[in-house]
Homo-oligomer: A and B are copies of this chain.
Amino acid sequence: MPKRLTIKDIARLSGTGKSTVSRVLNQQGDVHPETRKRIEAVIEQYQFIPSRPARSMRVKESRVIGIIVARLDSAAENQAVSAMLPLLYQHGYDVLILESRFSTDKVVEHLKVLTQREVDGAILFSFTELTAAMIAGWESHIVLMVHPCEGFSSVCYDDAGAVQMLADHLFQQGHRRISYLGVNESDKTTGEDRYRAYLAACERLSLPPLASLGTLEYHSGYTLAGEVCRDGTSAVICATDSLALGIYKYLGEHPEHKITVAAIGNTPLLGFLFPAVITLEFGYANAGELAARQLLAHLTHTAPARTYLLTGQLNTDIAG
């Protein structure tokens, strides 16, 4: 056990005082270039790393940020988190990951824990039921994902634009019976917003709407598939890639239907199993990076709250 060195040690080793060492460590104040070199050499030689707890205690900032995901096993959230981590670590922050499972209770509980842990900031994957009141007090050091909220920074997806893009694309391909398989409107973005956009698209393109709304799971897609694959439907837009998987299962059992499937999402599996699918994906990684940067901005110079709206990208690899 080499017993970690302290700044006092390296002060002695480089023949200076603690404060000078501290100054070069935090690159603040003026230090004579030569003394600096000398100190840096010693630091390098002994691989000295200042103690975080000691620094935290003194400075009253933990250098920790919390991330509350809805589900640890969500592909989209995972991609976003993967993009955040390197950035945050790189800026010297530790990251605590918590899971809400879409429970507002869990969120407020986690937020309380994060407060107790004195974290410097947080990134929260939000959802419909979450109200501004639940995150009150965090405005200056939190960024929301997916769901915006007045007065808070957030990075969200352009749900309406996505459905619109999908509908237009299918229309251009000649489809005149485009139905929609979605999610219950109680979910604001994935449910209501996307459904509304579908209805609007039908209106705009003068198409007869045919839709069915269920839950997020692929089971729901399978169950509801029959309701949208009829009346001469030639294409269906799915609010979610898992829903599309459900439909494909249905189509596999009902080969008489010749239907084009389009979906929002980016499970690579979907495109692999069913190459004909048309997919629109938001850049989740990109979103994560944006969120992390915005949070960092909040933490360094008090930046104003800002909302990013990410637009999707069409993905029609195989289908002509």
Contacts and interface: CB of A to CB of B under 8 A. Distances in A.
B57 A269 contact: no
Contacts of A89: 98, 113
B82 A78 contact: no
A56 interface: yes
Nearest to A115: B49
Q: Name the residue in A73, A79, A222 with the highest tally of chain B Cβ atoms < 10 Å from its Cβ.
A: A73
Contacts of A218: 269, 272
Contact of A54 (B4, B57, B95): B57
Given A49-B116, A53-B53, A94-B117, A85 B73 contact: no
A97 B95 contact: yes
A56 B64 CA distance: 15
Contact of A81 (B72, B248, B273): B72
Contacts of A94: 64, 94, 96, 117
B269 A269 contact: yes
A245 B248 CA distance: 14
A204 to B, nearest CB: 35
Q: Is the interface of A mostly helix, strand, loop or mixed?
A: helix
A139 interface: no
A234 B248 CA distance: 26
A249 interface: yes
Contact of A78 (B56, B72, B79, B85): B72
A109 to B, nearest CB: 11
B95 A82 contact: no
Nearest to A4: B118
B52 A117 contact: yes
Contact of A273 (B73, B82, B245): B245
Contacts of A54: 53, 57
Nearest to A268: B218
Contacts of A51: 57, 118
A110 to B, nearest CB: 10
A155 to B, nearest CB: 19
B99 A82 contact: yes
B272 A219 contact: yes
A96 B94 CA distance: 7
A78 B218 CA distance: 20
Given A72-B82, A245-B269, A248-B273, 7 more contacts: A52-B53, A53-B53, A85-B98, A85-B99, A89-B98, A94-B94, A96-B96
